[in-house]
Structure 1
Amino acid sequence: MELSKIHRVYFVGIGGIGMSAIARFFHEKGVAVSGYDKTSTQLTQQLEAEGIRIHYTEDLDQIDRSADLVVYTPAIPAAHTELVYYRENGYEVVKRSDVLQEITRELFAITVAGTHGKTTVSTMIAHLLRHTGYGCNAFLGGISSNYGKNFWSSDKQVAVIEADEYDRSFLKLSPDIAILTAMDPDHLDIYGTEAEVETAFIQYTQNIKPNGTLLAKHGLPRGPELKGDNKLTYSLQNNAADIYAANIRMEDGGYEFDVVQQDWMIDKVKLRIGGMHNVENAVSAIGVAHLLGIGSDKIRAAVADFKGIRRRFEYLVKKENAVYIDDYAHHPEELRALITSAKTLFREKKCTVVFQPHLFTRTRDFAEGFGEALSLADEVILLPIYPAREQPIAGVTSEMIAARIEGPVVKIIARDEVPAYLREHPAELLITAGAGDIDLLREPLQTLLNKP
């Protein structure tokens, strides 16, 4: 696959957050892009407005029979009519990760991997490079609040890429700078064991290009096994790490802090989004910007201008009597960090968490961890499990999590019943969390909490 020789690309499952970024990459290079997706969404509508042709039924009459390349997502069933046609008729059919593999070969690649934090860190890095004028092509797993996009292009031959560990696709990438944020067990339906998850992340670091750099979170399991000709660590505030934050001060739902390294320091960095974990994320992004030779004043200004990512500790309501935060958290450690940070910032407010478990396997594997994390709240509203790509598993329901929550009031209700429930039981500090369709509650709950 030579990117310069591709003139027509067809996407099977174009509306996914990762797929749409690749579609935009080709489209902005003047390649003819079209595709299929199951449903019309805000994201597919944006793609159509940008000039990309999309249809929403399996229909061989609407596919591009002149495509040089067909890209599909693993979420598409193997028996999908269009995918079968392309495979049986000799087209070059690849996964999204194969395209990213080629991009990392051709460009200076900065890749961000980890069981959590990767969307925020990759978006922070990409924002810093764009805001400071350094420039980059950004392939993100979330929508940047600064730009309203998950992709942007640049003449600079640099790419910032979120590296997804699902189905081991990130092992195809060959970065110049690799960031590793976390190695907690997840996707055990793919990996089987915690040890296999860790082994995959070690393999990710083995693919760093010669003379490349690994920037890994301090204290990761099996840290000595991580590879990279140049190895650095970062931390929230552990001064045993190479780069860390010091003098952290909470300020109007955000933070001010210094970033310290043995040979340099950037003081009075202002981060205007919530979540202490986001201070740590910022430390890693600042570390990358400094590696690239970007000046302290430019870095400081870029961080201060960072508005966050849609559904990552996103403030939807922030007023005296009510705060509403929406987050993508779908792993126990993410939930723990989310609830802890929110309660620290708004200590005097009663914390109500609405959580939608994502996947039956993840609920089965981490019910204990979810229960412990949600026990940090004052009230918990659990929704039924969002199945995504999975079939139900006997005995695996939201009740598994509810039974392990100790302390808070717990209620299990349908998603559509939540606004009426909160109308009767008003929330002071409301958090909605999950990776399914819980985001459909954003608008009605925002409207509800904004009422005088």
Structure 2
Amino acid sequence: MNVDLSKIQNIYFVGAGGIGMAALERYFLAKGKKVAGYDRTSTQLTDELRSEGVDMTFNESADSIPEAFRNPETTLVVYTPAVPSDLPILAYFRENGFEVMKRAAVLGLITRNSRSLCFAGTHGKTTTSSMAAHILNSGSVGCNAFLGGELINYGTNFLLSPSSDFSVIEADEFDRSFHHLTPYVAVITATDPDHLDIYGTEEAYLESFAHFTELVRPDGALIIHEDLKLRPRPQEGVRVYTYSRDKGDFHAAYIRREPGNITFDIVTPRGTIRNVNLGVPVEVNIENAVAAVAAVCLTNAWAPELIRDAISSYRGTKRRFETHLKEDNGAGHVIIDDYAHHPEEIRKSIESVKALYPGRKLTVAFQPHLYTRTRDFAPEFADALSDADSLILLDIYPAREEPIEGVSSKIIFDNVKCEDKILIGKEKLVETLKNRNFDILLTLGAGDINTFIPQIIESLKD
């Protein structure tokens, strides 16, 4: 779409309460645009956006649209695919000649006007993109970052640097959103099948990533994980590199592990960065740090000392290995929350926590996300969850979906090999944990399981 953002005065967001949309709202507010939007329910995030200047409504009627946003000549409409296509507000804009664009298409406009580092993959993209953004932001280069998680260092999922030519984008494969982007550096972390409600088959999923590799600028670079099934199709001129924890053009070496600490070297074509200490010391972040450094290495922001310091000072993103409780006697309760909602993510999350706290009993509480994902990957979920010492499995969080006959958490539960397991509704989670006197608790899932953590912590005081 040929939209000239300089001529747009007002931007209206449909589905304005999502964290990805919030980053764009903050970006356009910083650019001096008027911003308004609709979402279904009020949340802490929508409250924050309102206080920052977003004219927010929770009324889906077209009558709730502010007068300033009713001129199609000066108003751009941005929507997320998560909102129903027949939503009255969306229908009003479409029927009255407004330019209506997906969030991903607007990100695409931003990537075409900057040197963008785009991080794609079934899992790992939030952490790797956030690490890269933190590295760039720690130096003089800076960046504009649009991330899928709130960085604990900054308390936001959006970083702004008006003078920087770099943007950092979490490239989402859902609904083929990442096909709108024009990466300067593209990183692909994983291509394990997901979103089969959209793609249908693993082959179609892989083809979507292959097309993404065609979008990298001819003067740019593509960085892919060593172990992918993917067959990339980059344009002529694009430099192609590989990475992983142990091998590839970028990899880790001389890994040293101590309780609560991981130190290693990162080997790159430009030299080795020695004695890198992870600010979030979980096993999976070794590889995530390698991917983030690989992307930064291919820009003019290469500065080994700064990179080492930035990785050490990186505190992670909310809901990605976020520690909520760590009793300081060395043997007390620990509560860690992770957004993992795909079988391979769950496997790596459990492995990472066990490596961080060897010899201690790990209780996993998992809330499956989506009926279709549960249906498509039930055996894989069961296999990954079998690595827990104790499992509390919750009912499915439906998100945007209606129930599917015969699909429930039980199709996972019945095949979990862990003997200490229980299947409950989420309303029983706090009481169940109180009675089980857990040691290490890992809460997993992309639904609302994390909202129970304050109650769980409070129950430990009784």
TM class, shorter-length: over 0.9
1:115 to 107, 119, 122: 122
The residue identity in structure 2 corresponding to 1:178 is: A
The residue that corresponds to 2:413 in the other structure is 402
- Assess if the C-alpha contact under 8 Å between 2:434 and 2:456 holds in 1: no
Report the CA distance between 1:87 and its aligned residue.
0.6
Q: Is 1:378 aligned to 2:383, yes or no?
A: no
1:243 to 235, 246, 250: 250
2:33 to 31, 34, 54: 31
| 2:89 counterpart SS class | helix
The residue that corresponds to 1:445 in the other structure is 456
Report the CA distance between 1:254 and its aligned residue.
3.5
- Assess if the C-alpha contact under 8 Å between 1:314 and 1:325 holds in 2: yes
The residue that corresponds to 2:47 in the other structure is 45
CA distance in 1, matches of 2:408, 2:264: 42
1:430 to 441, 444, 458: 441
| 2:111 counterpart SS class | helix
CA distance in 2, matches of 1:22, 1:224: 30
Stretch deviating more after TM superposition (282-291 or 305-314): 282-291
Deviation sequence 1:135-170 (CA, Å, 0-9, x none)? 100000010010010112112121100000000010
CA distance in 2, matches of 1:258, 1:142: 27
The residue identity in structure 2 corresponding to 1:391 is: E
The residue that corresponds to 2:199 in the other structure is 191
What is the total number of aligned residue pairs between the two structures?
449
The residue identity in structure 1 corresponding to 2:211 is: Q
Deviation sequence 1:374-433 (CA, Å, 0-9, x none)? 000011111110111111111000000001100231111111211111111111110000
1:81 to 81, 84, 88: 88
Deviation sequence 1:278-304 (CA, Å, 0-9, x none)? 110001111222222321111111111
Provide TM-score, normalisation by structure 1.
Answer: 0.97
CA distance in 2, matches of 1:38, 1:255: 43
The residue that corresponds to 1:129 in the other structure is 136
2:216 to 196, 204, 208: 208
The residue that corresponds to 1:65 in the other structure is 70
CA distance in 1, matches of 2:208, 2:89: 32
CA distance in 2, matches of 1:324, 1:192: 36
The residue identity in structure 2 corresponding to 1:411 is: I
- Assess if the C-alpha contact under 8 Å between 2:197 and 2:372 holds in 1: yes
| 2:77 counterpart SS class | strand
CA distance in 2, matches of 1:271, 1:448: 32
Report the CA distance between 1:441 and its aligned residue.
1.2
CA distance in 1, matches of 2:232, 2:172: 23
| 1:40 counterpart SS class | coil
The residue identity in structure 1 corresponding to 2:454 is: E
CA distance in 2, matches of 1:222, 1:183: 7
Aligned sequence identity (%): 48
Q: Is 1:414 aligned to 2:425, yes or no?
A: yes
| 1:260 counterpart SS class | strand
Q: Is 1:283 aligned to 2:290, yes or no?
A: yes
Residue correspondence of structure 1 range 142-181 to structure 2 within 5 A: 142-154=149-161, 155-181=163-189
The residue that corresponds to 1:219 in the other structure is 227
Provide TM-score, normalisation by structure 2.
Answer: 0.95
> Please, which runs of 5 or more residues in structure 2 have no aligned partner?
none
Report the CA distance between 1:223 and its aligned residue.
4.0
Report the CA distance between 1:440 and its aligned residue.
1.2
CA distance in 1, matches of 2:27, 2:269: 38
The residue that corresponds to 2:281 in the other structure is 274
